[in-house]
Chain A
Amino acid sequence: MPLIETAALGMRYGGEVTALADLTLEIEAGVVGLVGVNGAGKTTLIKLALGLLTPTSGRIRVLGLDPIADGEQVRAKVGYMPEHDCLPPDVVAAEFVTHMARVSGLPAAAARERASETLRHVGLYEERYRRIGGYSTGMKQRVKLAQALVHDPELLLLDEPTNGLDPAGRRAMLDLVHRIGTEFGISVVVCSHLLGEIERICTSLVAIDAGTLLRSATLSSMTEHNDLLVVEVDEGAERLAAALTAGGLDVRRRNRVLTVRLGEDDGAVYDLIRDAVADLDLSLHRLERQRHQVADLFRDRPAEEVSHV
Chain B
Amino acid sequence: MSESGVIHDIGYQRYTGPRLGPGHSARALYVHSVRSAYGLGRSPWAKVLPIGLIGLASLASLIIVIINSQLPEPVLDQVGIASTFTFAAAVFVAVVAPELVSVDLRTNLVQLYLSRPLSRSSYALTKVAALATATFLLFAAPMLIMFIGMAFSTDDGVPGVLEEFGALLLGLLAAAVHAVLLAALGLPIASLSGRRVFATGMIIGVFLLTAPISAVLSELDSGTIGRLAGVLDPASLLNGVDQWLFDADVSLVSIGSFGPVYGLVTVALAVLGTMAAVWRYKGMKS
Contact = CB atoms under 8 A, between A and B. Distances in A.
A46 to B, nearest CB: 9
Contact of A86 (B14, B20, B112, B116): B112
Given A86-B108, A103-B28, A105-B25, A136 B115 contact: no
Interface in A58-85: 71-73, 75-76, 78, 80, 82, 84-85
A180 B1 CA distance: 19
Nearest to B123: A103
Interface string B129-144: 0000000000000000
Interface stretch (B4-12, B164-172, B199-207): B4-12
Given A103-B29, A104-B25, A90 B108 contact: no
Contact of B43 (A50, A76, A90): A90
Nearest to A82: B111
A92 interface: yes
Contact of B4 (A50, A99, A121, A142): A142
Contacts of A179: 7
A136 to B, nearest CB: 7
Contact of B10 (A47, A110, A120, A166): A120
Given A90-B46, A103-B116, A139 B17 contact: no
A123 B3 CA distance: 10
A180 to B, nearest CB: 8
B107 A151 contact: no
Nearest to B113: A103
Contacts of B116: 75-76, 100, 103-104
Interface stretch (A168-176, A205-213, A252-260): A168-176
A42 interface: no
A167 to B, nearest CB: 10
Contact of A105 (B2, B20, B114): B20
Contacts of A86: 107-109, 111-112
Q: Chain B interface secondary structure, helix, strand, loop or mixed?
A: loop
Name the residue in A95, A172, A179 with the highest tally of chain B Cβ atoms < 10 Å from its Cβ.
A172
Contacts of B119: 71-72
A47 B108 contact: no
A225 to B, nearest CB: 34
A72 B17 contact: no
Contacts of B107: 85-89
B15 A99 contact: no
A122 B8 CA distance: 8
Given A75-B117, A82-B108, A121-B8, 14 more contacts: A52-B115, A72-B22, A72-B118, A80-B115, A86-B109, A102-B28, A103-B117, A105-B21, A105-B25, A106-B17, A121-B7, A127-B4, A151-B19, A168-B2
9 contacts: A76-B19, A80-B115, A85-B108, A86-B109, A102-B25, A105-B20, A125-B8, A127-B4, A139-B4
Interface of B: 1-8, 10-15, 17-22, 24-25, 28-29, 32, 41-43, 46, 103-104, 107-109, 111-119, 286
Interface of A: 47, 50, 52-53, 71-73, 75-76, 78, 80, 82, 84-92, 95, 99-100, 102-107, 110, 114, 117, 120-125, 127, 131, 136-139, 142, 147, 151-152, 165-166, 168-169, 172-173, 175-176, 179-180, 183-185
